[in-house]
Amino acid sequence: MSEVSADLGTGRASVGAVLDYAWTAEQFTATDVMASTSLTRSTAIEALATLVDARVLQELPNARMAGSYRGGRPARRFALSPDLGVVVGMDAGDTHLAVSVADARGDALVHHRVEVDPADTPTERRASIERHLGDALTEAGRDRADLLALCIGVAAPVDRYGVSPPHPEGFWERTNPGLATALAEWAPVVQVKNDAMLAAVAEGAHGAAVGCGDYVALLAGLRFGAGVVIDGNILHGAHGGVGEGVAFDHVVGVGSAFGLAPLLRDQARAAVEGGEIAATSAVGHLLDGERVDARAVLDLAAAHDPDAELVSARVGEILARVVGVFGSVYDPARVIICGAIAESIEPVLAAARTALPGQLDLPAPQLLASPLGAEVVSLGAITTARLAARSLAVPLLAERRLARA
């Protein structure tokens, strides 16, 4: 077995150390590698040569050829090979499907987001996922042979094997219709994860939890679901159920796992029907049959409409109870509201911050809105897929290439 697999248990660790550095760097020199890894020059150059031979790295034109040479011997420059392969991150929600294709460095090549029918059967949902996956790869000019790793987030608990437990109403089976098996042949590494867990990955890598080891990423749009990170580790559970929102069915003052958008709708409607808000008011005009535009309520609250502020305050009190549960059980430093609703949620957060200290005895966690928007799960899936590509797929690919050389 070649030294490329050093980080898989055998061979020389120098190649793994150089690959670790190259995975997050752009263009670099042997001197850069030495400074980052503490390898000697000869060891660094030998490891670089191995990775170039495996076509994991490419050697770039030197400074003289690139036109930036200013005297002395030009340094050799390296970067990840552009034809190393691609990774895919998917967000398979109840009503949407997002597919992102990125190169090995994580640069986006294609991103699709489509609405899907929540009444789809498991067979129909599985076929839709595979179809959109194939279409995205085709648009990126790639095929299965180029796919290093695939990670898909689903709105269900997921165990360590990518399997969701049965749900009393079949919901989890629809959102995760045997995907670990169905997608197994698509890539060397296929991972199925809970969507909130992937949101936590994204927040820790790119969002409001960078540098924080204790936080909760709360997907809170349509339903509550949380990814929990404590002492720098994502908590999982026997069935992947840590942070599952059904717990709030049993919390006094919350009463269900429905998220912030339904809560805004319900509180607005209740205030109008109870006579606290006039049907002819700005909030009253938002009522349309069974639907209320939650974003519009939040926009009115941000503009200091008193009726919308009333609705936001009441939802903030409910959110404070939700956050208080997480604060008491996990003692996080931060709770981050994730998803598309985070962009407008500040009026609710302001009210929740006021109410939160009364919900727990421990110091209240900092309550923040995610900066990552609607694609937080896709971003977490891409981040997870890149990690899997680095640790598993790329070393195996390099070994095969070196064996054929």
Can you give the residue ranges of every domain in the chain?
3-81, 86-204+377-397, 208-371
Q: Is there a contact between 344 and 301 (Cβ–Cβ < 8 Å)? A: no
pTM: 0.91
Tell how strand 86-92 and strand 57-60 pair up.
Answer: unpaired
Tell how strand 291-292 and strand 287-288 pair up.
Answer: antiparallel
| pLDDT for res 6 | 42
In whole angstroms, give the CA distance from residue 300 to residue 335. 25
CATH of domain 86-204+377-397: 3.30.420.40
Residues 128-157 pLDDT 10s: 999 999 999 999 999 999 999 999 999 999
In whole angstroms, give the CA distance from residue 203 to residue 322. 19
| pLDDT for res 3 | 45
| Mean pLDDT of the 203-211 span | 97
In terms of CATH architecture, what is 3-81? Orthogonal Bundle (1.10)
In whole angstroms, give the CA distance from residue 326 to residue 328. 6
Q: Give just the sign of the alpha carbon dihedral 400, 83, 147, 155.
A: positive
| Mean pLDDT of the 93-114 span | 94
Mean pLDDT over each residue of the chain, to the nearest integer: 92
Question: Among 3.40.50.300, 3.30.420.40, 3.30.360.10, 3.40.50.150, what is the CATH number of 208-371?
Answer: 3.30.420.40
| pLDDT for res 4 | 47
Range of weakest confidence among 98-112, 117-131, 280-294: 280-294
With 50 as the cut, is the pLDDT of residue 226 above it? Answer: yes
Domains 3-81 and 208-371 share a fold: no
Range of weakest confidence among 55-64, 82-91, 126-135, 202-211: 55-64
| Mean pLDDT of the 323-327 span | 97
| Mean pLDDT of the 158-184 span | 94
* Residues above pLDDT 70, as percent of the chain: 93
Tell how strand 215-219 and strand 334-338 pair up.
Answer: parallel
* Residues above pLDDT 90, as percent of the chain: 85
Q: Is there a contact between 255 and 248 (Cβ–Cβ < 8 Å)? A: yes
* Joined tokens for residue 272: 């109008």
Q: Is there a contact between 226 and 217 (Cβ–Cβ < 8 Å)? A: yes
How wide is the angle at C-alpha 59 spanned by C-alphas 55 and 60, nearest 5°?
135
In whole angstroms, give the CA distance from residue 12 to residue 189. 24
Q: 394-404 vs 41-53: helix axis angle to the nearest 10?
A: 80
CA dihedral (144, 150, 155, 160) in degrees, to 10, reads 130
In whole angstroms, give the CA distance from residue 88 to residue 279. 47
- Element holding 32 (H helix, E strand): helix 30-37
* Joined tokens for residue 4: 């490329």
| pLDDT for res 156 | 95
Q: Read out DSSP for 284-343? A: GGGEETTEE-HHHHHHHHHTT-HHHHHHHHHHHHHHHHHHHHHHHHH--SEEEEESGGGG
How wide is the angle at C-alpha 228 spanned by C-alphas 102 and 153, nearest 5°?
35
| Mean pLDDT of the 283-302 span | 86
| pLDDT for res 221 | 85
| pLDDT for res 337 | 98
| pLDDT for res 290 | 61
* Joined tokens for residue 187: 């890539």
Q: Give just the sign of the alpha carbon dihedral 271, 306, 296, 254.
A: negative
Residues 353-395 pLDDT 10s: 999 999 999 999 999 999 999 999 999 999 999 999 999 999 9
Range of weakest confidence among 11-20, 91-100, 198-207, 375-384: 11-20
Confidence of residue 127 (pLDDT cuts 50, 70, 90): very high
